[in-house]
């Protein structure tokens, strides 16, 4: 099918896309707090004549496995929404994501002066491109000749940060999971989706993709010692020393990591004490354990927990370990990726398409999506500076937002034209890694743990608990 009408529609309205990139950049918000972004995008989508659906109410027709007795399910409200484009003809449903959340990089020159938040990963450009996809799909007679449906999703909380805040949301019953896409999976929003994709912004000027990237466990360690005057340290138990020793012990494990497993462990001390003249009695350390394969990094996680627990015991501290299922390893579908290469060819040219990107060591909760359906997470150029760094910005918004939208719409058309032949083939020939969403979530739930790791007995013995559940 000729995609020119979609591309021209995007080109004619690109000022709306570029305005969205600027607004969201200037109003960064971290995960599950993206209400300004939510309102701006919701308004922009509704001005296109589209009906937006928030995540607090999931219709029974959507949440097929989740609905009870054919009734709608209700949840606590979180930022984000979705819109559906239904061709009226049978075929697969494609989900397209735009991530809304920012990072906290307080030394970035354009960060929010109050929160330190800034879009140092380019999620704001994804949102602008998602608006561009909506613009393309509202072209006159846009759905003629297509079969199936398209769901555009503005999703919160991809970055695994602010653990305490998200723990509080869990305790209040606002969320079940720390990451937005996993939360939407649990809420049933992906139950009637057959395949999915998204495009993330990176440096360079190409469209790229590879086989995938690492998954992770999100971790928080809390060392509890005993406070004392710093002039009389023998009266206290120094939790900071225990934390430093634990980090050194974990570092000594690195030579046991096998390179093919791409294990990464990168702890930071988020609280190291409160007063210089007092022995620190509560110190917190946060980190991820990243790896290419779930079972492997679960085993590495046990080693790291052991190193931390033993270090706490050597100083005489208590230790609480909070492990959370982070992002699953991301597996890109080769057939779906190939559709994007073909769709991008007339837009970028062959020399600006590279589908041999190496396995990535970063993580994304899009990996959760790739475990329950064929999915691909691609990258588009246009950014400058270091990702997650203090010098990151979008240098070429035309490429990262407008061109990205054009490529995504072209791929959707290719997938759903001719009776959705390509989409049907991908779905048929690529069964998901898990038989059901519930089976997948049950595996991840086994990772979650919040337990005491060191026990002191009256006879002087010390017991370490490394169990994750």
| pLDDT one-digit tens code per residue, 22-53 | 999 999 999 999 999 999 999 999 999 999 99
| pLDDT one-digit tens code per residue, 213-233 | 999 999 999 999 999 999 999
**CATH number (domain holding residue 205):** 3.40.630.10
**pLDDT reported for residue 58:** 80
Percentage of the chain surpassing pLDDT 70? 97
| pLDDT one-digit tens code per residue, 264-280 | 999 999 999 989 999 99
| pLDDT one-digit tens code per residue, 317-338 | 999 999 988 899 999 999 999 9
61 lies in the same domain as 156: yes
Q: Per-residue confidence at 65, pLDDT binned at 50, 70, 90?
A: low
Helix/strand/coil for 116: coil
| Structure-token pair, residue 339 | 């559709």
222 lies in the same domain as 322: yes
134 lies in the same domain as 120: yes
Q: Per-residue confidence at 466, pLDDT binned at 50, 70, 90?
A: confident
262 lies in the same domain as 346: no
Q: Per-residue confidence at 68, pLDDT binned at 50, 70, 90?
A: low
Q: Is the dihedral of CA 361, 364, 368, 370 positive or negative?
A: negative
Q: How far is residue 428's CA from residue 181's CA, in Å, rounded to a whole number? A: 23
CA distances (Å), 345 to each of 91, 232, 350, in order? 25, 70, 6
**What mean pLDDT, rounded, does the chain reach?**
94
Q: Considering the domain boundaries, does residue 273 fall inside one?
A: yes
Q: Per-residue confidence at 386, pLDDT binned at 50, 70, 90?
A: very high
Q: Per-residue confidence at 62, pLDDT binned at 50, 70, 90?
A: confident
319 lies in the same domain as 378: no
Q: Considering the domain boundaries, does residue 27 fall inside one?
A: yes
Q: Per-residue confidence at 1, pLDDT binned at 50, 70, 90?
A: low
Q: Considering the domain boundaries, does residue 469 fall inside one?
A: no
CA distances (Å), 278 to each of 222, 228, 274, 282, in order? 18, 6, 8, 11
205 lies in the same domain as 240: no
Q: Contact 238/384 with Cβ under 8 angstroms? A: no
**pLDDT reported for residue 60:** 76
| pLDDT one-digit tens code per residue, 173-183 | 999 999 999 99
Q: Per-residue confidence at 468, pLDDT binned at 50, 70, 90?
A: low
104 lies in the same domain as 79: yes
143 lies in the same domain as 85: yes
Neighbours of 341 (CB within 10 A): 18
**pLDDT reported for residue 66:** 60
| pLDDT one-digit tens code per residue, 121-164 | 999 999 999 999 999 999 999 999 999 999 999 999 999 889 88
**pLDDT reported for residue 74:** 85
Q: Report the number of distinct structural domains present in the chain.
A: 2
Q: Considering the domain boundaries, does residue 170 fall inside one?
A: yes
320 lies in the same domain as 338: no
Most confidently predicted of 63-72, 90-99, 169-178: 90-99
**CATH number (domain holding residue 302):** 3.30.70.360
Q: Per-residue confidence at 352, pLDDT binned at 50, 70, 90?
A: very high
Q: Considering the domain boundaries, does residue 368 fall inside one?
A: yes
200 lies in the same domain as 314: no
250 lies in the same domain as 347: no
Q: Considering the domain boundaries, does residue 441 fall inside one?
A: no
- 72 pLDDT more than 90: no
Question: 163: part of which helix (H) or strand (E)?
Answer: helix 163-172
157 lies in the same domain as 224: no
Domain that holds residue 428: 4-211+332-433
Give the mean pLDDT of 342-346.
97
Helix/strand/coil for 168: helix
| pLDDT one-digit tens code per residue, 8-28 | 999 999 999 999 999 999 999
**pLDDT reported for residue 81:** 97
């Amino acid at each position: 099918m000729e995609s020119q009408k979609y591309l021209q529609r995007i080109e004619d309205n690109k000022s709306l896309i570029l305005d969205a990139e600027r607004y969201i950049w200037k109003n960064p918000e971290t995960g599950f707090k993206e209400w300004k972004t939510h309102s701006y995008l919701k308004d922009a989508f509704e001005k296109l004549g589209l009906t937006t659906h928030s995540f607090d109410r999931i219709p029974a027709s959507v949440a097929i496995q989740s609905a009870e007795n054919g009734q709608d399910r209700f949840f606590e409200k979180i930022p984000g929404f979705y819109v559906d484009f239904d061709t009226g003809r049978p075929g697969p449903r494609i989900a397209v994501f735009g991530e809304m959340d920012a990072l906290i990089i307080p030394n970035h020159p354009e960060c929010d002066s109050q929160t330190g938040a800034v879009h140092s990963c380019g999620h704001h450009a994804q949102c602008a491109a998602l608006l561009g996809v909506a613009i393309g799909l509202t072209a006159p007679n846009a759905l003629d000749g297509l079969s199936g449906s398209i769901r555009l999703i503005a999703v919160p909380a991809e970055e695994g940060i602010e653990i305490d805040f998200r723990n509080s949301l869990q305790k209040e019953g606002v969320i079940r999971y720390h990451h937005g896409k996993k939360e939407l999976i649990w809420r049933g929003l992906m139950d009637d989706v057959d395949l999915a994709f998204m495009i993330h912004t990176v440096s360079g000027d190409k469209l790229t993709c590879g086989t995938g990237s690492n998954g992770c466990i999100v971790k928080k360690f809390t060392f509890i010692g005993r406070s004392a005057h710093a002039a009389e340290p023998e009266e206290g138990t120094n939790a900071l020393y225990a934390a430093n020793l634990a980090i050194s012990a974990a570092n000594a494990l690195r030579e046991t990591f096998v390179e093919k497993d791409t294990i990464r462990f990168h702890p930071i001390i988020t609280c190291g004490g409160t007063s210089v003249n007092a022995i620190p009695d509560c110190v917190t350390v946060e980190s991820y354990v990243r790896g290419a394969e779930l079972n492997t990094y679960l085993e590495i996680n046990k080693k790291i927990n052991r190193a931390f627990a033993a270090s706490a015991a050597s100083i005489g501290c208590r230790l609480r370990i909070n492990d959370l299922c982070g992002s699953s390893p991301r597996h890109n579908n080769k057939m779906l990726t190939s559709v994007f290469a073909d769709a991008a060819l007339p837009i970028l040219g062959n020399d600006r398409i590279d589908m041999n990107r190496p396995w990535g060591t970063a993580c994304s909760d899009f990996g959760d999506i790739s475990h329950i359906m064929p999915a691909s997470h691609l990258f588009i150029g246009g950014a400058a500076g270091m990702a997650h760094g203090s010098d990151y910005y979008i240098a070429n918004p035309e490429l990262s937002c407008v061109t990205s939208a054009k490529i995504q719409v072209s791929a959707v058309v290719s997938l759903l034209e001719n009776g959705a032949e390509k989409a049907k083939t991908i779905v048929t020939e690529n069964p998901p890694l898990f038989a059901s969403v519930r089976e997948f979530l049950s595996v991840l739930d086994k990772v979650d743990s919040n337990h005491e790791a060191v026990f002191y007995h009256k006879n002087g013995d010390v017991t370490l608990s490394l169990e994750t559940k």
